[in-house]
Structure 1
Amino acid sequence: MSTGFIFLTFYVFTLLVGYLGFNVFTFSYGMPFELGDDLYRKSFVNAEFVFFIAIVSFMLGDSISGLVFRKSSIQESITQKQASVFLKAGAGQKKILFPLLLLSWSMLVLSYGLDAILYRSKYIPANIGAIKSLGLLLTVLLLVLIYGVVKSKLCMFFIYSATFLIFFSYGSRFMAVVPICYIMSNLLFSNKNLGPTKIISCAASSLFFVMLAIQLRRFEPHGLVPYFWGLINRGIDIDLWMFSINYIASFSYSLTAYVVEKFSYDIEYFYLSINPALGSMLDWADRSKDVRVNEYVPFNAISELYLTGVAYLSVYFLFSGFYWKLIDQVVFSKSKLCAVFVYVFCLIFTFYTLQYNLRSSTRIMYYSFAVISMYFSYFYIIRILPKKKNHG
C-alpha cells in the first residue's frame, strides 16, 4: 500500500469506466444531471487529456520524492506494536478519545443544526462552514482508533452505528467510509487475522452505502426522519448498484469534460482555493457560487486547474505526488498507525479532486499536515521529552 497506488488506482479506474461507459458502451448515459449526454467525442478527449496530465504529474512527483527521501535513510522506526501500545497505554487515552468523539459528533450535528438533521427542505442547508469538514475528518480518524481503545463489542457497535446515523441523516457518501474505518481499525489493533469474509462484506457494504446515498438524495424532503420513512415505504432500489459504480467513476469523467467544455475560469479563484484562511474570511460562501455547475454540483479540482492552465495542473499534481509520498515515507518509518491516517487523507484527497472543488481538495492536504504534526508533537512531548529531562 502506498499513496501513489491509491491515487493511480482511483484515477485509472475512473478514466476506464468513464471511457467505456460513454465511448464504447452506453451505460454511463443518464447519470445525475446528464452532464455527458450531449457532449461530443472531442469533449471527452479533452477530459482524458486532463486525467493523463494529472496522473503523469502526480506519479512523477511521487517518484522524485521516493528517490530523494528513501525509507532506508529514515531511522528510529517505531513498530506497529509499539504504536498500538502507545495509544492503548493508560486510562488517559480513553479519557481523551471519548470526549473527542463526542466533540466530532457535535460538530457534525451543529454544522446542519439538530432540526435540519431530523428534517429539512433542502439537501444541503445554507452556510454550513468549515465545522462540517473538520468534524468529518476528526470522526474518521477517531473511528480508526476505536478498536485499540474500546474492548466492548456492544460499545463499539453503538459508536459505529451513531456515526452511521449522522451520515445517513446527511444522505452522504461518507456512510461508505464507516465499514472502511472498521477494517483499518481491526487490522491495526486486533491480534486476529481479518478474514476475507469480513473484508469482502465491508467492501460490499461500502458500495451499498454509496448506492443508498444516491437514492436518499432523490427523496424530498430530506433528513433522518424523511429518509427513514422513505426507505420503509419505497424500499431499496437494487438497480442503483451499477448506477453507484457509474456515479463514482463516470460522473467524475463527464463532469471534467463538461466543465472544461462549457466554462471559463478566473485565476483569482485558484489563489482563493489554495489560501489556507477560513472561508468566512474570504467570503467563500458567496464567491464559490461562480465555480459551480449548479446548486448541487461544484466544479471538480482537476477541471479548475486545467482551466487555470496546463502548467498549474501539472505543478499542482507534481507537488501533491511529492507531498503525499514524502509524508507516507516519513510517517510509515516512524508509526504504521499514523501511516493509516495518511492513506485515509490521501484517499479523501484523491476522491475530492475528482468530484469536489479545488479549495476542498487543497484543504485536505492542510488538514493532513496539521493532524500529522500534532500527532508527532504529542508523541514527542509525552514520550521523548520526559526521558531527555530524566537523563539530563
Structure 2
Amino acid sequence: MSVPRLQVIDLGGPDGGSLLLLGPSLGTSTATLWTGVAQRLNDHLRVVGWDLPGHGRGVQAQPFTIADLSAAVLLLADSLGADTFHYAGNSVGGCVGLQLLLNAPQRVGSATLLCTGAAIGTPDDWLERAATVRAGGIDTMLAGTAQRWFGPGFIARQPGVGAALLDALSHTDPESYALVCEALAVFDVTDRLSEIAIPVLAVAGSADGATPPESLRCIASGVQDGDLVVLDGVGHLAPVEAPDRVAGLIAELVGVPQPPSRTVEDVHRAGMAVRREVLGDAYVDGAVAGTTDLTADFQQMITQYAWGSIWTRPGLDLRSRSMITLTALVARGHHEELAMHLRAARRNGLINDEIKELLMQTAIYCGVPDANSAFRIAAEVLPEFNEHQGEQ
C-alpha cells in the first residue's frame, strides 16, 4: 500500500480564511458534487476539494486503504499550509473523515459527514462490485445509478445536474473505481467511534438506500460529540440535492455566518476562480493586466456573466462545457478563441484523441471548411500536450 496522490480542486475563498476540505463520493468528481455548496461558503472559508484516484482529474493509483486516503488528505492540508482544517465528506469521503478523526484529531476542527457510515455495505458486496467493474468496465455501474444516488423526483427537477454526475461516473477509470470498492470492503471503524471527541455532524438523506439514516445515527450516537440531521426527500448525494441546507449546516458547525444570497461580488469572485481554473493564471493575469478604461466594463461583464453565471453552474462539469464551447467556436469561426479553448479543454481533462473526434463531428454538423480551419489550429496547439499524456 502507498499514499495516493490526490488531485486538488480549488473551489474558492479567501487565502487567509479557515480551510474547509471536501471529500467526494465513489464515482463522482468533487467539482460536480460540491461546487454548489462551496459557492455558498467561500465568502468566509477557503474551500478546497480532492478527487479520488482515477475520478474527475485524479490519476490512477496502486491499491490503497481508507487510511491511506486520510494520510493523503493530511499531506494536502500540509501543502496548503494548514495546521488545522474543517472537513466535510460524502459517502467514501465521509469514511475518510472518520479515519482523519481517529488518526489525526489534533488537525481537524470539525467534521460534517454526509450519507456515509462507520462501515458501508458488506465486504462481499464491495468485492463483487470490484470484480464486475474489472470484467465489464465502468458502464456496468451506470444502469440503476440514478435510482441509487438521487431522491424521488430529483432527476426531473434537476436533469442537468443529474446528467453531469452520471457523465462524471462514465469517465471514471474502472480500475481506480474497483480499488475504492476494495478499500471500502475492509473499512469498519464502528468499534472505534467512541474514541472520537471532535464535534461531528452526521447528515443523512431520508431517501438514501445506500447509507440510510440509521447508518448516520450510529455515527452521531457513537462519537463523544455528535449530532444527526436527516434531510427529507434527499438521496445519497446530499451536497447536490440540498446545497443550501448542507452549506448552512456546515456554516453553523464551523462557526461562520450563514450563507446569504449571492451578491454581484460573489458571482464575480466565483467567475474569476473558475476562469483561472479553466484558462490558467498566466492567461488571466495577461488579460487583467491589459485592461483599459475602454475594456474594463467588458472584462467585468464576461467574468460575471460568462464565467460566474454559466461556467460555475453545477448542471454540467467543466469537461462537458469545454466540449460544447469548442463546437460553438468552430461553428462561428472564432479562431483566436478556439486556440485558447483548446488549451482550456486539455486543462479540463479532454485528451487529444477526444478533441479529434469532436472536430470530426463538427465537420458534419458545422461544415468541412470550418472543421478544416479548426484542425489547422489544433495541429498547432495540441502537440504542446502530447508529452504530458504519453501520447504519440
Normalising by the residue count of structure 1, what TM-score does the alignment of the two structures yield?
Answer: 0.26
Structure number having the greater strand percentage? 2
> Relative CO higher for 1 or 2, CA cutoff 8 Å, sep ≥ 6?
1
Structure number having the greater helix percentage? 1
